[in-house]
Amino acid sequence: MEYRVIKEGDLFLLTDLSGDIAPGNEQGHGLYSQDTRFLSRMELRIDGEKPAVLSSAGDKSYVANFRLMKDVKDEGAIEVKRDCFIYDGILYVRIAITNYFVHDSRFGLSVAFGADFQDMFLVRKYRGGEVGFMEEPVIGDGEIMLGYVGADRERRQARITWDAQGGAVHRDGTVSFPLSLKPKEEREITFFIAPVSKRHPEGKLLGFEEGLRKLEQSYERWYEDNARVESDFPVFNGLYQRGLQDLRMLTADIGFGETTVAGLPWFAVPFGRDSLITSLFMLPANPRHASGTLRTLAAYQGEKSDPWRDEQPGKIMHEIRFGELVTTKQSPFSPYYGTIDSTPLFLVLIGEYYRWTGDLSLVKELRPNILRALEYIDASLQAGSGFMAYKQEAEKGFPNQGWKDSANSVIHENGTYAASPIALAEVQGYVYQAKRSLAPLFELMGEPEAARRLAEEAEALKERFESAFWMDDEQSYAIALDKELRQVRSVTSNPGHLFMSGLPDGSRAKAQAERLLRRDMYNGYGIRTMSTDAAGYYPMSYHNGSVWPHDNAMILLGLGKMGFKAQAQQVIEGLLKASRYFEYQRFPELFCGHDSELGYPVPYPTTCSPQAWAAGTSLAFLQVMLGLYPDALRKEIRLSPFLPDGMNTLRVRRISIGNGHLSVNVSRNEDGVTFRTEIAENTTGFAVAGL
C-alpha cells in the first residue's frame, strides 16, 4: 500500500508513508470522523526539509510506526521516530528525535497542522454541494483550536495540544521547536489531536504509554473472546490472525451494538450487504457479532416510499453517512437504500444466527423487522414476475444494486448492458434461503401457518428459478434476468452464492461447482468474477474478471455445505497462495484476474485495504475446512473436516455454539488422505455428528 491507515472507534487516520498529511493531496490523506476530515495537514520538517523515510510500518492495525532521517553525507544524521495510535477519540502522535552526529547539533523541528473539515464525498470528488465557513484559528498556550461551521450549522473543531515546553505557535498552524541535542541524545514530543463535534465529544486525555497499553489490552480481550487457531501451516495462521485483528479495527458502534464498517479508507461506515456478509463469516469466531449488525440494520429499516433514497417500507439499507452533505440533504445517504440483497441477507443472517446460538429471544425481538422485510420481498417478487428485481429510483443512486454495483457489471453475451428491472441469480438464492430458514423459527414462535406458507413459497421460487436461470450449454446459471425476463448469459461467479442457499438441484449443483473451477473462471489464485470467454471480461476491471476474496468465501461456504470438498480445497489453496504476496498478508478488497502463471497476483490499482469482508474470508476458511455446520433446531453439530496441502494439524479452541464452546483437533494420517478429529471441549449441549 502507498499509504498508512489506522482506526479506532469512529476515528481513522490516513497518511503517506512518512506519516505526513500534505494539504491538497489527491490521495485524501487526513484524520476523519463521522465522514468529516478533521485534519487535512500534518507535515513534519527538520530545518524546513522533509526527512527521508527509512521505514514505514502498519503491521498492527491500531498503530502506525515511521522511522525518518535527515542526514549530512558521511557525517551523521538526525533520526525521527513517529508513532501514531488512536484511543478514546484522540489521535496520539509521539515524535522521538535522536542526534546521530558525533557533535552537538542544533536544528529546528516543526509540525504544521491544518483542517479543511471537508465532507468525505467532497474529498473523494464523488459529490459537490454547498458548504459552510472556516473560523479563525484560536491559538493558546500549548494549544491550537481549528474550527468550522457547516452548512448544517453544526460546529466542528480540531483541538491540537502537545506536552513539550518551548514551542512557538505560528498563525498558519505550525508549531516549531528549536532543539539542541548532544550525541545520541533523544528528545520526545507528543501531540494530541482531538476532533470535537456534536456527535464526537472529546475523550479523556491519557499519557502516550497508558493510552497505548489500554488499546493493546482491548485487542487482547478481543482475541480471547474469539475462536483461537493453531496449525502447522504458518500461512494460514498468519492470514487468520490478520483477519481477526483487522476485524477488531473495523468494529464500530453507532448506537445499537457492535458491527463492522465496510473498509478503509473510504467506507468507514456500516453497510447493509457488507456488514451482513462479514457477520456471516464471523459466525465461527463468535456468533454474538451478528447481533449488533442485526440490531443496527433493524434500527434503520425503511419506513416509507422515498425515491430520493431508494427507500421502501421494510427495506434494509445499503449505506449510511453522517457528513455535512447528508445532514443538509444534499446527498441521499442518510441512509441510502439502493441495494437489492441487503434485505434477504438480513433474514439469512437471522436464520444462521439461530442455528449457531439457539437464541430465539433475538428472533422474537426482531420479529416485527422480519415481517416488514418479508412484506418488502414479497412485493418485489410480485412486481418482478416472480423474481426479486431492482431498478434505480434515486437520481444520485446506483444503477446496479447487487454486490457487483458498478454500471457495467450485468452484461449480455453480445456486450450490451442488461436493462432494468434486473433479477440477479444470487438474490433469488438469498430469498430462498431466508424463507426456508425462517419457516421453522416461526413454528417455534407458535405460528405454524406462517411457517407453512414460507416453506411453500421457497419451494415455488426454486421451481421458477430452475426453469428460468439454467443455461444448459454453459452448465451454469445465468447471472440475471433482464427487463424482458431474458437470461443475461455471461458466465460469472454470482451463481456460486447459490450453494450456500441449497437451492441448486443435485446434478446442476455438481455441474455449477465444476464450471466455476474451469480455467476461464479459476485463475489459480481464486474464482474470477467473470469468465475470460465473456464479452465483458477485463482482468483489471472492478467486477468483470477480477478476483474478490469475499466472493470466493461466499462460494466456499456453500461448496462446503453441499459436500464439494475437492473444489473447496482448490479454492482455499489458491487464495492462501495469493495471500503471501499482499502486505502484512492482508487480503485486499479485490485483485486482478490475471492467471497465476505470472507467479504472483496483480493488485487492483485502487483497492480498499483493510476491507471487512476480505478480512473475514479467513474465518470462512475455518468453517469450510472443519466442515462445521451447527444446527440448533436439531441440537446437532455436523463436522466433516479436510486440510489443505501444507497443513497437517489444526487445532481450534473456543468456538461459540449454543450456550457453550467447542474445541476441535484435526490431524492428517500417514497416508495423507484421512483425518482424525477429536473433540477437545464440547460444552454446547449439541450432539456431534459426521466424524
Per the CB < 8 A criterion, the answer to whether 272 and 317 are in contact is yes
Q: How confident is the model at residue 590 (pLDDT cuts 50, 70, 90)?
A: very high
- Residue 247 falls inside a structural domain: no
Residue 190 sits in the same domain as residue 281: no
In 3D space, the residue among 23, 18, 185 whose CA is nearest the CA of residue 106 turns out to be 185
Residue 511 sits in the same domain as residue 399: yes
C-alpha cell at 587: 487480503
Question: pLDDT value at position 566?
Answer: 96
- CA separation for the pair 501, 523 (Å, rounded): 25
Per-residue H/E/C for 173-212: CEEEEEEEECCCCEEEEEEEEEEEECCECCCCCCCHHHHH
Q: How confident is the model at residue 192 (pLDDT cuts 50, 70, 90)?
A: very high
- CA separation for the pair 557, 280 (Å, rounded): 10
Exposed / middle / buried, residue 80 (Cβ in 10 Å: 0-12, 13-18, 19+): buried
Residue 275 sits in the same domain as residue 160: no
Mapping DSSP to helix (H, G, I), strand (E, B) and coil, where does residue 449 land? helix
- Residue 657 falls inside a structural domain: no
Question: pLDDT value at position 680?
Answer: 79
- Residue 659 falls inside a structural domain: no
Report the pLDDT averaged over residues 181-196.
Answer: 97
Neighbours of 172 (CB within 10 A): 10
Amino acid at position 563, single letter: G
Residue 333 sits in the same domain as residue 188: no
Residue 278 sits in the same domain as residue 186: no
Q: How confident is the model at residue 198 (pLDDT cuts 50, 70, 90)?
A: confident
Question: pLDDT value at position 2?
Answer: 86
Question: pLDDT value at position 399?
Answer: 80
Residue 10 sits in the same domain as residue 122: yes
pLDDT digits (tens, 9 = 90+) for 271-296: 999 999 999 999 999 998 999 999 99
Q: How confident is the model at residue 485 (pLDDT cuts 50, 70, 90)?
A: very high
pLDDT > 90: percent of the chain: 87
Distance of CA 605 to the CA centre of its chain: 18
Residue 282 sits in the same domain as residue 211: no
**CATH code (residue 120):** 2.70.98.40
pLDDT digits (tens, 9 = 90+) for 637-652: 999 999 999 999 999 9
Contacts of 70 (CB under 8 A, 6+ apart): 46, 47, 49, 51, 52, 77, 78, 80, 107
Question: pLDDT value at position 128?
Answer: 84
Please state whether beta strands 636-638 and 687-689 pair in parallel, antiparallel, or not at all (unpaired): parallel
Q: How many CA atoms lie within 13 A of 247 on its CB side?
A: 32
Residue 213 sits in the same domain as residue 361: no
- Residue 644 falls inside a structural domain: no
Q: Taking 50 as the threshold, does the pLDDT of residue 427 lie above it?
A: yes
pLDDT digits (tens, 9 = 90+) for 135-151: 999 998 889 999 999 99
Query: What DSSP string runs through 63-126?
Result: EEEEEEEEEETTTEEEEEEEEEEEETTEEEEEEEEEE-SSS-EEEEEEEEEE----BHHHHTTS
- Residue 666 falls inside a structural domain: no
The conformation of residue 316, written as its DSSP 8-state character, comes to P
Last residue of one domain, picked from the residues 571, 597, 615:
615
Task: Measure Cα distances from 141 to 160, 164, 595 in Å.
Answer: 11, 11, 60
- CA separation for the pair 144, 138 (Å, rounded): 6
Question: pLDDT value at position 266?
Answer: 92
Which is it for the CA torsion 164, 169, 173, 179, positive or negative? negative
C-alpha cell at 381: 417478487
- CA separation for the pair 227, 356 (Å, rounded): 14
C-alpha cell at 532: 475470460
In 3D space, the residue among 15, 190, 162, 6 whose CA is nearest the CA of residue 97 turns out to be 190
Q: Taking 70 as the threshold, does the pLDDT of residue 397 lie above it?
A: no
Higher pLDDT, 336 or 26: 336
Last residue of one domain, picked from the residues 596, 615, 634:
615
Question: pLDDT value at position 171?
Answer: 87
> Any idea which residue has 471537508 for its cell?
118
Residue 283 sits in the same domain as residue 430: yes
Residue 272 sits in the same domain as residue 331: yes
Please give the mean pLDDT across all residues of the chain.
94
Mapping DSSP to helix (H, G, I), strand (E, B) and coil, where does residue 422 land? strand
pTM of the model as a whole: 0.95
- CA separation for the pair 223, 217 (Å, rounded): 10
Q: How confident is the model at residue 673 (pLDDT cuts 50, 70, 90)?
A: very low
In 3D space, the residue among 541, 516, 551, 514 whose CA is nearest the CA of residue 531 turns out to be 516
312-331 residues labelled b (16+ CB within 10 A) or e (exposed): bebbbbbbbbbbbbbbbebb
Report the pLDDT averaged over residues 648-664.
Answer: 93
pLDDT > 70: percent of the chain: 98
Report the pLDDT averaged over residues 625-645.
Answer: 95
**Which of 158-167, 323-332, 456-465 holds the top average pLDDT?**
456-465
Please state whether beta strands 259-263 and 251-252 pair in parallel, antiparallel, or not at all (unpaired): antiparallel
Q: Taking 80 as the threshold, does the pLDDT of residue 500 lie above it?
A: yes
Total domains in the chain come to 2
Last residue of one domain, picked from the residues 587, 615, 643:
615
Q: Taking 60 as the threshold, does the pLDDT of residue 230 lie above it?
A: yes
**Is there a cis peptide before residue 399, judged by omega within 30 degrees of 0?**
no
Residue 213 sits in the same domain as residue 291: no
- Residue 257 falls inside a structural domain: no
**CATH code (residue 444):** 1.50.10.10
Range of the domain at 157: 4-217
Contacts of 210 (CB under 8 A, 6+ apart): none
Residue 584 sits in the same domain as residue 458: yes
Which is it for the CA torsion 607, 114, 147, 189, positive or negative? positive
Region for residue 104 given its phi and psi (left: phi exceeds 0; alpha: psi -120 to 50; beta: otherwise): beta
In 3D space, the residue among 411, 577, 416, 566 whose CA is nearest the CA of residue 494 turns out to be 411
Contacts of 90 (CB under 8 A, 6+ apart): 192, 193, 194, 202, 203, 205, 211
- CA separation for the pair 270, 264 (Å, rounded): 12
- Residue 243 falls inside a structural domain: no
pLDDT digits (tens, 9 = 90+) for 547-557: 999 999 999 99
Q: Taking 90 as the threshold, does the pLDDT of residue 597 lie above it?
A: no
- CA separation for the pair 453, 41 (Å, rounded): 59
- Residue 186 falls inside a structural domain: yes
Choose the weakest-confidence range: 61-75, 243-257, 356-370: 61-75
